[in-house]
Structure 1
């Protein structure tokens, strides 16, 4: 599993933008400056929709005040689902919604869980702070918990 002080690896994440499908390489996207990447097990699921994503939308300005340039949410869903989820929750451009459609990026990170017939391979629930391409903070939730990957906890960590 990836850990603090590791470089964020290269890979491919997608998003459906105004001009169609876009691909992003996390190693390039997060190469300079300070960024937050957080993962949810699935779009439209209760904790992800009611708590996790909304916490980052609510605290986006607070995180930016701490020097965070990009706040990105990723899930093992396709880019169409991620866009629809963002629209359903009225997510503005303060949070990027990225898709890891085949879970390959999360397999590379070692941050996956198997949910069997419920939903197959999913991302673990986590948040990480990346500064100049290096993971400086990594908060991975225990099974079926929510707390350390919240925007509030990330903000506390950044405030020292």
Structure 2
């Protein structure tokens, strides 16, 4: 059984998950400050996928129910913290192959349209990048903008209603 020591130099993009051969991997912080995991495979082939979940990228009906629920629970959006507001889709894939034990070091970049999600800093295995780019999700960006406007308007409406209740009575 071959082992791959996966090292991540900086944080994985917010809300992203790391999968190796279809299983989600939990990285553990080492004493040096980097995050590491050891993954085993019979054939020495590793399919590494990094992807994120955008709540604003859901189908409309699911997004609407999800947003409406949190909008009501957070007192009309005033105390809402459920969404990260990110509009960048992360779907990066890397294949690595080794004959024995190997190590792979990845460094993740910042959110920017067209920028690479990660760079391979060091590798003892053969690596092939299948996809490695941040993509701006226009639907998520539009929905985040609309939701932000609704939150501001509802905060103003709640403030006006409270002012009318407090100062409206003589």
- Fold match by TM threshold 0.5: no
TM-score of the pair, normalised by structure 2: 0.22
The structure with higher relative contact order (CA 8 Å, sep 6+) is 1
Q: Please state which structure has a larger fraction of its residues in strand.
A: 2
Q: Tell me which structure has the larger Cα radius of gyration.
A: 2
TM-score of the pair, normalised by structure 1: 0.23
